[in-house]
A and B are shown apart, each in its own frame.
Chain A
Amino acid sequence: DAMVIQNPRYQVTQFGKPVTLSCSQTLNHNVMYWYQQKSSQAPKLLFHYYDKDFNNEADTPDNFQSRRPNTSFCFLDIRSPGLGDAAMYLCATSRDIKETQYFGPGTRLLVL
C-alpha cells in the first residue's frame, strides 16, 4: 500500500543533543511537509519542500532544519532540542501544493 512512513515512532533525546527524525513516502508526491503538534493543539507547519525547493515558515526557529535528499525521503533535524520541543512531529505529503495532504503516523519526541 502506498503510504507515509515515519521512524522512529517514539524518540527520546537529551536536552541539547541533536536528533533526526525521518519520513519516507511511497506515494511519489512532489511536496513533503513537517508539522509540530503539541498536546490538544493544532498541527503547526514548520516547513515544506516542493520537490527540491525548501520553504521555511517565518516563525520556525533556526533550531529546526530539514533535508530532502530524494523524492522519497525527508528528514527533520533538531540541532539543540529544548524541553519546549517535546511534541508530536508529523510528516505529510501531497501531490501538489494545493492538493490533499496525507499524514504519517507521527514521531513522539521526548526531551529529558
Chain B
Amino acid sequence: SQKIEQNSEALNIQEGKTATLTCNYTNYSPAYLQWYRQDPGRGPVFLLLIRENEKEKRKERLKVTFDTTLKQSLFHITASQPADSATYLCALRLSGGYNKLIFGAGTRLAVHP
C-alpha cells in the first residue's frame, strides 16, 4: 500500500539548535515534494518545493533534501527559534497523470528558549 510517514512524536529542541524532520514514503513515484507549516487552528502555509531531480533546496534558515532511492526527504531548520514551533507537513505530488497532492500527518516541532 502507499504511505507517507512522518514522526508522530513531537520533536523538542533547544533554541539555536538545528531541527531535522523526516518524511518517508513507500510505493509512490513523486514528481516533487513540498513542505508546509501549520500552526494550531490554521491552514497549512507553503514553505519549499523540491523536485525529483534535485538533491537539496535552501531558503533562508530552511533546507530540504530529497533522496528518491531512500524514498526520504529531510527538512532542516537551522538556528531554530521558539517562533518556529509548529507542525510541519510534507506532501507529495505524484508524477504522471495523477494530479493529487498527498499529505503526511505532520510532525510537531517545539523549540524551547
User: Which residues of A are interface residues toward B (Cβ below 8 A)?
Assistant: 4, 6, 40-45, 57, 88, 90-92, 97-98, 100-106, 108
Contacts and interface: CB of A to CB of B under 8 A. Distances in A.
A59 B42 CA distance: 25
B44 A40 contact: no
A104 B43 contact: yes
Contacts, number: 47
B95 to A, nearest CB: 10
Interface string B41-84: 11111100100000000000000000000000000000000000
Contacts of B46: 100-102
B43 A42 contact: no
Is chain B's binding surface mostly helix, strand, loop or mixed?
Answer: strand
Interface residues of B, number: 22
Contacts of B34: 100
A45 B100 contact: yes
Contacts of A57: 100
A98 B4 CA distance: 19
B99 interface: yes
Given A90-B44, A103-B45, A106-B42, A42 B105 contact: yes
Contact of A45 (B36, B44, B101, B104): B101
19 contacts: A40-B8, A41-B105, A42-B106, A45-B100, A90-B43, A90-B44, A97-B99, A98-B31, A98-B99, A100-B34, A100-B46, A101-B46, A103-B36, A103-B43, A103-B45, A105-B43, A106-B41, A106-B42, A108-B41
